[in-house]
Chains A and B, each alone.
Chain A
Amino acid sequence: MSKQVRRQLHLDPTLCDAHGFCAELLPELIDLDEWGYPVFIAGGLVTDVPEVLAGEAKRAVTTCPVGALRLTKNE
């Protein structure tokens, strides 16, 4: 049986300092607003990450200089 994995990227807006690296790494999921803060294209502060972007999402989490991003995995 194949397992359905749901990866989600979480943004803590109180930590984010608008460094913008996340939007560079994940343009498919993240835009920047006029003040340089990330906007999840699907809205809100939690967004689903498709399998093909899992690696990039992990990189975004480690690249964010203030630790504002978090990746979770539910089966």
Chain B
Amino acid sequence: MSTHRLLPIDPQTGRARDLRSLASHAAAFGPLPILPPSADGHPGPLIEAIAESRLCGRGGGWFPTARKMQAVVDSAAGRRKRSPGSRPVVIANAMEGEPASGKDAVLLAHVPHLILDGIQAAAATVGATDAYLAVHRGTPSIDDLERAIAERRSDLVRVELITPPARYVASEESALSHWAGDDTATPVYGDRPFERGMNGRPTLVQNVETLAHLGLIARHGGSWFAEVGDAQAPGTTLVTVGGRVRQPGVIEVPTGTPVSDILARCGGVDGPVEGFLTGGYGGAWVASEALWSAEWAPAQVREAGGVIGAGILWALDAAICPLHEMARVATYMAGESAGQCGPCRFGLPSVADDLTDLARAASTREDLARINARLALVVNRGGCKHPDGTARFIGTGLTVFSAEVAEHLGGGCSASRSGASLPIPKIRKTPVKRAGKDFR
């Protein structure tokens, strides 16, 4: 059974095919069937195939897509009686805020029409009258995407390309809905987008990989989708593999594939690796041996102490100081706070500063205790999950690399090579004081 579903491979080159034109797309995937839309407060009939597929969102949360769609339809139906102007909205999330992720960019560059098919399928299913494709400002494929959208003549809902700022939290779903409505990309607390999103309308936010899978489910059905992969979260999934592997990049595998197989597909690890980063900078570190034997499916990775999140698997080179890497990422994440909530705005920078001292081997046991106490203080207290993800990244790292922490507390560092490994976009030293032009 082929597992190259989203990204068909060119047998000649062994690489993903370029299916940017509508003609090549239609030839490779076949036509998109007619999609009867949602009516009378019920989802469109495709909902049954989506439920049967057990498709879960690939943007990080792995939430069942059919359930989110049903929630959007229900909230629109409940609202229509009172305010007729609240038809649903679909927002396709191609922001790919995680710096170590590459999968959404690969989809945009190779199979944009599969994403656009998925947007049409989602819009029909929830009865949306407006649809947006959000790519962060400065994305190289923007012109191609405009062209792809213009090429499509039979779409029921016109897709508008929007370009929020390339800030980590701008791609959180309430921030995206906020941006689509009034050009401010800060997270909104309280209203959940499926109830009150863009301009108060029920808003379905889905990651573009989720939507690309939907484009295939619309063609082949739900049981076809679930033919491969893990029983609970079936199908294939994209993994961005990076760090100390011979051929880093994005690969498509069935969920439930052993991590050792994923690494083998990327040429194997290229030197000693003590820990893996799973899920990204809002994800979790896992000790090498614990992850090696796990299967790449949400429940199994969680059991190993990690999180699939946006599908990132990063093998940290054991020669590099993990605490130095963690301090760089923590500083970046602290600077990405939208600055709206105290624990995030003050807590993250203070933890990042303490971690920087620890990386320099300039900390005491009390300093370490303070980091741990503050990590507990930033969790479950933000308007969005940005501080929670960051705290998990730091907390799991301190545990997985506890031997290195002890070394640093004693004034040493066992790194044999200086230098940085994890990619960091521009670092802002302090979060914005009040959300302003940075988020516009």
Interface residues of A (CB under 8 A from B): 12-16, 18, 33-37, 39, 43-45
Contact = CB atoms under 8 A, between A and B. Distances in A.
A33 B377 contact: yes
Q: Is the interface of A mostly helix, strand, loop or mixed?
A: loop
Given A13-B343, A13-B383, A39-B381, 8 more contacts: A14-B189, A14-B340, A18-B342, A33-B343, A33-B347, A35-B346, A39-B377, A44-B381
A13 B340 contact: yes
Nearest to B370: A34
Q: Interface of chain B, helix or strand or loop or mixed?
A: loop
B8 interface: no
Contacts of A44: 380-381
25 contacts: A12-B383, A13-B340, A13-B342, A13-B343, A13-B344, A13-B382, A13-B383, A14-B186, A14-B187, A14-B188, A14-B189, A16-B341, A18-B342, A33-B347, A34-B377, A35-B342, A35-B346, A36-B342, A37-B342, A37-B343, A37-B346, A37-B381, A39-B381, A43-B380, A45-B381
A33 B382 CA distance: 14
B14 interface: no
Nearest to B387: A13
A15 B342 CA distance: 9
Contacts of A39: 377, 381
Contact of A12 (B190, B344, B346, B380): B190
Contacts of B187: 14
Contacts of B189: 12-15
Given A12-B189, A12-B190, A45-B381, A35 B347 contact: yes
Nearest to A43: B380
Nearest to B342: A37
Nearest to A40: B381
A12 B314 CA distance: 35
A44 B380 CA distance: 5
Interface string B379-415: 0111100000000000000000000000000000000
Interface residues of B, number: 17
Interface of B: 186-190, 340-344, 346-347, 377, 380-383
B401 to A, nearest CB: 26
Which of B186, B188, B189, B381 has the most C-beta atoms of chain A within 10 angstroms of its own C-beta?
B381
- Residue from the set A18, A33, A44 with the largest chain B CB neighbour count within 10 Å: A33
Nearest to B435: A14
A33 B370 CA distance: 13
Contacts of B347: 33, 35
A35 B377 CA distance: 11
A35 B337 CA distance: 16
Contacts of B186: 14
A35 B204 CA distance: 36
Contacts of A45: 380-381
Nearest to A16: B342
A10 to B, nearest CB: 8
A75 B342 CA distance: 33
Nearest to A33: B377
- Among A18, A34, A44, which residue has the most Cβ atoms of chain B within 10 A? A34
A34 B344 CA distance: 13
Nearest to B190: A12
A18 B340 CA distance: 12
Contacts of B344: 13
Given A35-B346, A35-B347, A14 B341 contact: yes
B253 to A, nearest CB: 37
A43 B382 CA distance: 12
B29 to A, nearest CB: 42
Nearest to B344: A13
Please list the 7 inter-chain residue pairs (A to B) with the smallest Cβ-Cβ separation, ordered nearest first: A37-B342, A13-B341, A14-B340, A14-B383, A35-B346, A14-B189, A44-B380
A32 to B, nearest CB: 10
A12 B187 CA distance: 12
Contacts of B380: 43-45
A36 B342 CA distance: 8
Contacts of B341: 13-14, 16
A28 B336 CA distance: 34
Contacts of A33: 342-343, 347, 377
A44 B381 CA distance: 6
A58 B347 CA distance: 29
Contacts of A16: 341-342
Contacts of A18: 342
A13 B190 contact: no
Contacts of B383: 12-14
